[in-house]
Structure 1
Amino acid sequence: MEQSNSVQIDRSRQSTLAEALRQVMPAHCVLAQEEDTRPYECDGLAAYRQLPMVVCLPESETQIIAVMEICRRLQIPIVPRGAGTGLSGGAMPIADGLVLSTAKLNKIIRVDAYARTAVVQPGVRNLAISDAAAGLGLYYAPDPSSQIACTIGGNVAENSGGVHCLKYGLTVHNVLRARVVTMEGEVIELGGDALDAPGLDLLAVLIGSEGMLGVVTEVTVRLIPKPQLARVIMASFDDVVKGGNAVANVIAAGIIPAGLEMMDKTSSRMVEPFVHAGYDVDAEAILLCESDGTAEEVAEEIARMSAVLEQAGATAIAVSQTEAERLRFWSGRKNAFPAAGRISPDYYCMDGTIPRKRLAEVLIGITKMEEKYGLRCANVFHAGDGNLHPLILFDANQEGEFHRAEAFGAEILELCVAVGGTITGEHGVGIEKINSMCVQFSREEMNAFWDVKKAFDPFMLLNPDKAIPTLHRCAEYGRMHVSKGRLAFPELPRF
Structure 2
Amino acid sequence: MALDDAARAALARAVGVENVVDDPVGRRAYECDGLTGYRVVPDLVVLPRDAAAVAAAVRACAEHRVPFVARGAGTGLSGGALPVADGVVISLSRLKRVLDVDPVDRRAVVEPGVTNLEITAAAAAHGLYYAPDPSSQQVCTIGGNVAENSGGAHCLKYGFTSNHVLAMEVVLPDGSVVTLGGDSAEQAGPDLRGVFLGSEGTLGIATSITVRLLRVPETVRTLLADFPSVAAAGDVVSDIVAAGIVPAAVEMMDTLAIEAAEEAVHAGYTVGVPAALVVELDGPAEECDVQFEQVKAICDRHGCTRLHIAGSGEERAAIWRGRKAAFAAVGRISPDYFVQDGVVPRTRLTEVLARIADMGEQAGLRVANVFHAGDGNLHPLVLYNAAAGETERAERLSGSIAELCVELGGALSGEHGIGTDKACSMPRMFGEEDLATMGRVRAAFDPDGICNPGKVLPTPRLCGERPGKYRPHPLEESGLIDRL
TM-score grouping bracket, smaller chain normalisation: over 0.9
Q: Which residue of 2 is the match for residue 459 of structure 1?
A: 448
Q: 1:25 to 1:342 in 2, by over 3 A?
A: closer
How many corresponding residue pairs? Answer: 471
Q: Which residue of 2 is the match for residue 118 of structure 1?
A: 108
CA contact (8 A) 1:182 1:456 kept: yes
Deviation at residue 177 of structure 1 after TM alignment: 0.6
Aligned residue for 1:157, secondary structure, equals helix
Q: Which moved more, 1:187-196 or 1:424-433?
A: 187-196
Deviation at residue 489 of structure 1 after TM alignment: 8.3
Distance 1:199 1:491 in 2: 28
Q: Which residue of 2 is the match for residue 411 of structure 1?
A: 400
* Match status 1:436 vs 2:425: yes
Q: How does 1:307-326 map to 2 (within 5 A)?
A: 307-326=297-316
CA contact (8 A) 2:253 2:370 kept: yes
Distance 2:437 2:57 in 1: 29
CA contact (8 A) 1:471 1:489 kept: no
Q: Which moved more, 1:115-124 or 1:233-242?
A: 233-242
Q: How does 1:292-371 map to 2 (within 5 A)?
A: 292-371=282-361
Q: Which residue of 2 is the match for residue 165 of structure 1?
A: 155
Q: Which residue of 1 is the match for residue 42 of structure 2?
A: 52
Distance 1:357 1:290 in 2: 20
Aligned residue for 2:316, secondary structure, equals helix
Q: Which residue of 2 is the match for residue 291 of structure 1?
A: 281
Deviation at residue 358 of structure 1 after TM alignment: 0.5
* Match status 1:154 vs 2:150: no
Q: Which residue of 1 is the match for residue 437 of structure 2?
A: 448
Q: 1:216 to 1:166 in 2, by over 3 A?
A: same
1:385-415 deviation line (CA, Å, top 9, x unaligned)? 111001111111102x111111111111121
Q: Which moved more, 1:303-312 or 1:321-330?
A: 303-312
CA contact (8 A) 2:454 2:462 kept: no
Q: Which residue of 1 is the match for residue 129 of structure 2?
A: 139
Deviation at residue 331 of structure 1 after TM alignment: 0.8
Distance 2:449 2:63 in 1: 13
TM-score normalised to structure 1 length: 0.92
Q: Which residue of 2 is the match for residue 391 of structure 1?
A: 381
CA contact (8 A) 1:474 1:489 kept: no
Q: Which residue of 2 is the match for residue 245 of structure 1?
A: 235
Q: Which residue of 2 is the match for residue 423 of structure 1?
A: 412
Q: Which residue of 1 is the match for residue 482 of structure 2?
A: none
* Match status 1:80 vs 2:70: yes
Q: Which residue of 2 is the match for residue 4 of structure 1?
A: none
Q: Which moved more, 1:191-200 or 1:37-46?
A: 191-200
Distance 1:347 1:104 in 2: 30
Aligned residue for 1:40, secondary structure, equals coil
Q: Which residue of 2 is the match for residue 194 of structure 1?
A: 184
Letter in 2 for 1:277: A
CA contact (8 A) 2:343 2:411 kept: yes
CA contact (8 A) 1:18 1:30 kept: no
Identity across the alignment (%): 48
Q: Which residue of 1 is the match for residue 265 of structure 2?
A: 275
Distance 1:33 1:471 in 2: 32
Q: 1:44 to 1:282 in 2, by over 3 A?
A: closer
CA contact (8 A) 2:14 2:60 kept: no
Q: 1:491 to 1:462 in 2, by over 3 A?
A: closer
Deviation at residue 195 of structure 1 after TM alignment: 4.3
Distance 1:282 1:86 in 2: 30
CA contact (8 A) 1:430 1:466 kept: yes
Aligned residue for 2:55, secondary structure, equals helix
Moved over 6 A (4+): 488-492
Runs (5+) with no aligned partner, structure 1: 1-8, 478-487
Q: Which residue of 2 is the match for residue 37 of structure 1?
A: 27
Letter in 2 for 1:442: G
1:232-291 deviation line (CA, Å, top 9, x unaligned)? 121211111111122121111111101100001121122112212111224211111001
CA contact (8 A) 1:443 1:471 kept: no
Q: Which residue of 2 is the match for residue 257 of structure 1?
A: 247
Deviation at residue 490 of structure 1 after TM alignment: 12
Letter in 2 for 1:315: T
Q: Which residue of 1 is the match for residue 91 of structure 2?
A: 101
Deviation at residue 297 of structure 1 after TM alignment: 2.4
Q: Which residue of 2 is the match for residue 22 of structure 1?
A: 12
Deviation at residue 472 of structure 1 after TM alignment: 8.1
Letter in 2 for 1:341: G
Letter in 1 for 2:453: P
CA contact (8 A) 1:159 1:207 kept: yes
Aligned residue for 1:476, secondary structure, equals coil
